[in-house]
Amino acid sequence: MLYEEYEALRLCDYDLYNHHQASELMGVSRPTFTRIYASARQKIANAFVEGKPISIEGGKVYFDSDWYHCQSCGCYFNNPEKDIKVEACPLCGAATFNNFEYGDPENDEECRNVSRRRSCGRERRKRHQQS
Amino acid sequence: MKVAITSTGNSPDATLDPRFGRCAYFVIYDTQSRSTEFIPNPAREAEDGAGPEAVKLVASRNAKKIVSGEFGLKIKPLLDSLKIQMIVLKDPGKRVSEIIEMLNH
């Protein structure tokens, strides 16, 4: 099983994102995401039925560096030097920043604006207040 | 240390360009000598590959940080491997001069 297949399965069935949101988080198109996800399920089922072990390795993946959000100036920044700890915001120099989890529903407006129709499971963008 | 800022014009009064690869100008600001240099973006009208071209330009000037509104998906791994820090500012009205002032904190 490839890393991206594991990630697709994790986002969909563990974090309970829908395919649309999960594809955005992984930076691939929705159809591509569905293909990765289907392949993951096929492999899992295969391992289950035939009693094979599951190993996760390889694939086209890139591990994002840590991102931070500064509360003083409102900017987002990453830390390209993993060994060095961030002590101040690189822009305004304030120490008031916190870890920014990309895809955290609290931080992610995209995810909040999508609702799911209960009847058919189809997703729909929420209209903004005026309507 | 040098910092690259994406700008919509070639003066310090211009605002931050929210796009990285297709910004109008790059401002290279040197925090030690406090000098600024405006470079027009040659890849601005490119059909594709504007981002990697922009990274090349910024890396050739030895910038260690980039301030912009957004970075594309192809750019993040590139900049990570070059150890250039990305600073995302979701405030398109910010002037280049104001950003430089913030950098001088």
Minimal Cβ distance to A91: which of B67, B80, B90: B67
> The pTM is what?
0.66
pLDDT confidence of residue A101: 67
For the record, the structure tokens of A72 come out as 């003083």
Average confidence score pLDDT of chain B: 87
Paired with A123 in beta bridges are A116
Q: pLDDT tens, A70-116?
A: 888 888 888 887 777 888 888 888 787 878 765 554 444 443 444 44
Token pair in block for residue B43: 């890849």
Asked if B21 contacts B29 with a C-beta cutoff of 8 angstroms, the reply is no
Q: Which residues of A touch B91 (CB under 8 A)?
A: 74
- Provide the H-helix boundaries in B40-95: 50-60, 75-81
State residue B44 phi and psi, 5-degree precision: -60, -45
| Type and span of the H or E element at B101 | helix B96-103
CB contact under 8 Å between A73 and B103, yes or no, is: no
Per-residue pLDDT tens digits for B89-99: 888 788 888 88
Confidence category of residue B70, pLDDT binned at 50, 70, 90: confident
Bridge partners (DSSP) listed for residue B65: B3, B85
Q: What is the pLDDT of residues B23-40, one digit of tens each?
A: 899 999 998 888 888 999
> Distance from A91 to chain B by nearest Cα, in Å?
5
Residue A90 CA to residue B65 CA, distance in Å, equals 8
CA–CA dist A27, A102 (Å, integer): 12
Chain CA centroid to CA A36, Å: 14
Residue in B82, B86, B103 closest to A77 by CB: B86
Banded model confidence at residue B42, pLDDT cuts 50, 70, 90: confident
CA nearest to A111, candidates A15, A31, A43: A15
